[in-house]
Amino acid sequence: MKRNDDFDKRSKHLDSLDDETLYNKFWELANQIVDPMLELGKKNTTPAIERSILLRMGFSSIEAGPIVDAVIEKGLMGKGAGHAVWKLSQKKSVSIRDAGLIIIDGKADWAEGLF
């Protein structure tokens, strides 16, 4: 059984290129494919990702949920929950943990002037 393959026909435009040019063309095309995915990853996040980041920052899963919820409530999810905690710790000159607890307590208007 012979496979119907049109590779030779589709690759004619590449026949005149040397190895270095083919190599560069490959990476140029690969970057065109990957760049939109990287851009999405930079600009988009999810509550699950943010909870995971907070876990790595030392918060428990019981603490991470309310922090993410508070960040969503304040409309700061695009900035990231971990980033919000870090910025608050810088603004208030407190530890990361204390900043997260401030957000959980919700006593102060923690988000005002944060970004």
CATH 1.10.8.1000 assigned to domain 47-105? The reply is yes
Q: How many CA atoms lie within 13 A of 113 on its CB side?
A: 5
**For the chain, what are the domain ranges?**
16-43, 47-105
Range 96-99, long-range pairs (CB < 8 A, 24+ positions): 96/57, 96/58, 97/58, 97/59
Q: Which of 36-40, 52-56, 66-70, 94-98 has the lowest mean pLDDT?
A: 36-40
Task: State the pLDDT at residue 45.
Answer: 85
* pTM > 0.95: yes or no: no
- Each residue's pLDDT tens digit, 85-101: 999 999 999 999 999 99
Mean pLDDT of 16-20: 91
